[in-house]
Amino acid sequence: MFVRCLYSTEQTKTKCLKINAVQQKLMQQFLLKKGDFSKFVNTAIKDSDFVAPVEGSREKQNTRPFFREISSADEIYLGRKSYYTVKGFFFRENEKIFGFNGNKIINPESELKDTIYFGLRRCDLNGIYHQDIVFLDENEDPFYKARRDASLLIGYHCREGDDYCFCNSMELVDFFDLMFYDKGENYAVETGSEKGNSFVKKYSKFFTKADNAVSDEDRKTVNRKKLNTADIKDDYDNDDWKKGSDICVSCGACNFLCMNCHCFDFEDDVEFDLKAGSRIRKPASCQLRSFTRVAGNHVFRNERNARFKHRIYHQLQYFRERHNVQFCTGCGRCIEGCPVRIDWVEIINEMKK
Amino acid sequence: MPKPKVGFYDLTGCQGCLLSVIFNENEILDMLSKIDVKEFRFIMDEKYSGKLDVCFVEGTVVNKEDEKVLGKLRERSKILVALGACACHGNIPALRNFADEKKLDYLKYEKKHEQMQDMEKPMPIAKFVNVDYSIPGCPPDRDEIKKFIKEILLGKEFRNYSDPVCRECRLFENGCLIDDGQICLGPLTKGGCHAVCTTNGFKCYGCRGVTDDANFEGYFRLLEEKGKTDVQIKKHMETFAGIEINEKLKDTEWQQLH
Ligand code: SF4
Ligand code: SF4
Ligand code: SF4
Ligand code: SF4
Ligand code: SF4
């Protein structure tokens, strides 16, 4: 996958990641007529599963945009960023890791179809990049890998963020197979990987080569919100964190809505014969007390304040110290989805005043 | 290992909890082949008065008769399990604790009233006997009942689902009812119910009891910001786990709210 630094001229601190002359050559640009968009999507749907953001659905008691598998281009909603991320497709509730029967281990069979993920924002794509670091680079997770191998990531560039986005404050990278930019009558489309290039070749009747289709101006996003600094290493003992943790109701929404959060728990389930069963993986949340409970019912981060700080420190410090990549992608979903709207970005901005 | 002797009993309740045991239709035969059911009036006529390894008790203690039955069950049982919200937290029957007595006057003309009079405060079973495990919920989740039985068979210590309802609610990608201005008890309430109410658009009434770690102050503040009054919130909270919440909030203004 192609990774390139975007804002290096503006953000002096940004380090360009894995810039690679060979990969640079890979990048190609095209135009796709908006009038052909539906036809293009409906053709692609015939060949692969197609996941895209939709506006919300009454049956699910959910009027917030979320990702689902669609069967027609009409369902796609690009009006604003999705409230729920695409994460659930890669990292599922109750994933069977293996089955067992007595001493015998039974690996779950997977029937994976090639899947196109369309309409991913830059924050989503960077979140996937971070999940890759955890589930591919650090330790290869076969379930995650299989789903990633079968995936094609198509981005949709934001011209403007909503009230919660602050992606420009974070050091994001370019990470996509294809990226769509809205150019009025057309979409400008940029490829970022071999996979992206062969995809365009496969559907070449919809794409016209256009070498300067995407300008630096196109790549910018306007944010209303800003995190003044992500450097909080000396602020751990600051009392201001309590402004957030005192009113936090420990619901975990901030973690479950975050594209980066990847923590999980295991549970074993046995059949009534007490011989056969399976090991199940479930998403966990560091804001919940169960997260740091260990044998003997000891809880490491019993205080809500310690849990709250752990989340922010993982998002801004720990991951960067370990992997040299900014973890939080500035999507603001953890603020929008928090029932209390705890705005940790403002807490930090004020703390640093 | 001999099969454990198991009994299912009910005090004052609606018997929905016992139905939740049977509603495991796909696995009920496997389950019954692993345990020796001594009494369960939904599926057999036999009565049993000997010792039990595991005794499930449904319902609330609302009168002296219930108290007596419960006391005897405790004496005969190695492991006593409170099954369902009534047994665990008093549930709807215990609402009487919070009712305005004058409003109940009309009951004097009903025959039932005499029976009820001998105990003014219906209470969860843990108020009377030592309870080893609780399987909360109205009705309890059938998967949790199965899990409990398997863990007992394996000789493990059963641990309840302890994360809030919001966990499952968010993973199912529901909208949030608090955001929509409703009094949803999800953040305070133990999940493990597959968020069945909120997923279907009903606010959570807290039938599975309060999480170990509930932030009541933060919760009240949040709902007051959404325009809810203390009394509205209190009425909502009293419905299923009122007794438990009352205890957690003793020495606060909560007690004086009407
Ligand atoms: S955080 Fe940035 S990339 Fe993500 S939705 Fe907002 S503006 Fe778009
Ligand atoms: S520790 Fe918390 S913030 Fe970090 S990935 Fe896990 S759930 Fe997310
Ligand atoms: S921590 Fe919050 S703002 Fe950052 S990526 Fe996660 S949800 Fe988005
Ligand atoms: S979403 Fe908000 S209230 Fe819920 S755990 Fe996160 S910070 Fe706390
Ligand atoms: S609807 Fe209720 S249970 Fe669901 S996330 Fe909101 S507060 Fe939690």
For A92, nearest residue in chain B (alpha carbons) = B171
Region B131-153: mean pLDDT is 95
For A296, nearest residue in chain B (alpha carbons) = B157
Can you state the angle between helices A142-149 and A122-132, rounded to 10 degrees? 140
Q: Is the CB of B174 inside a 6 Å radius of any atom of ligand 5?
A: yes
Q: Examine the pLDDT at B119 and tell me if it is beyond 90.
A: no
pLDDT tens per residue across span A127-163? 999 999 999 998 999 999 999 999 999 999 999 999 9
For B35, nearest residue in chain A (alpha carbons) = A272
Q: Is the CB of B73 inside a 6 Å radius of any atom of ligand 5?
A: no
Q: For residue A306, what pLDDT is reported?
A: 97
Region B243-251: mean pLDDT is 87
| Tokens 């009352």 -> residue | B246
Q: For residue B144, what pLDDT is reported?
A: 95
Average pLDDT value for chain A: 90
Q: Examine the pLDDT at A122 and tell me if it is beyond 70.
A: yes
* B165 C-alpha to ligand 4 centroid (Å): 13
Cβ neighbors of A32 (< 8 A, separation 6 or more) are: A40, A180, A186, A187, A189, A206, A207, A208
Q: Which of A158, A326, A84 is nearest to A227 (CA)?
A: A326
Region A78-88: mean pLDDT is 95
pLDDT band at residue B113 using 50, 70 and 90 as cut-offs? low
- Alpha-carbon distance of A257 to B174, in angstroms, equals 11
Among B182, B184, B208, residue to substitute to test ligand 5 (most atoms within 8 Å of Cβ): B184
Higher-confidence position of A17 and B122: B122
What are the angstrom distances between the C-alpha of A316 and each of A150, A227, A286, A353, B242?
30, 11, 15, 18, 41
Q: What is the pTM of this model?
A: 0.92
Higher-confidence position of B54 and A21: B54
**Nearest atom (ligand 2) to Cα of A285:** 7
Q: For residue B104, what pLDDT is reported?
A: 67
What are the angstrom distances between the C-alpha of B256 and each of B102, B110, B250, B252?
18, 30, 10, 8
Q: For residue B24, what pLDDT is reported?
A: 87
Cβ atoms of A213 and A189 within 8 Å: the answer is yes
Q: For residue B109, what pLDDT is reported?
A: 64
What residue owns the CA closest to ligand 3's atom 6? A258
List, as one string, the DSSP characters of B158-221. Answer: P----SBHHHHHHHTT---TTTTT----GGGBB--STTHHHHTTPPP--TT-B-TT--HHHHHH
Q: Examine the pLDDT at B105 and tell me if it is beyond 90.
A: no
pLDDT tens per residue across span A231-277? 999 999 999 999 999 999 999 999 999 999 999 999 999 999 999 99
pLDDT tens per residue across span A14-70? 334 444 445 566 789 999 999 999 999 999 999 999 999 999 875 656 679 999 999
* A315 C-alpha to ligand 2 centroid (Å): 7
Region B31-50: mean pLDDT is 93
| Tokens 């369960």 -> residue | B40
Average pLDDT value for chain B: 90
Region A194-222: mean pLDDT is 94
Higher-confidence position of A111 and A221: A221
Q: Examine the pLDDT at A296 and tell me if it is beyond 60.
A: yes
Q: How far is A117 from chain B (nearest CA, A)?
A: 18
Cβ contact A61–B212 (<8 Å): no
Cα B183 to its chain centre, rounded Å, is 20
Q: Examine the pLDDT at B258 and tell me if it is beyond 80.
A: no
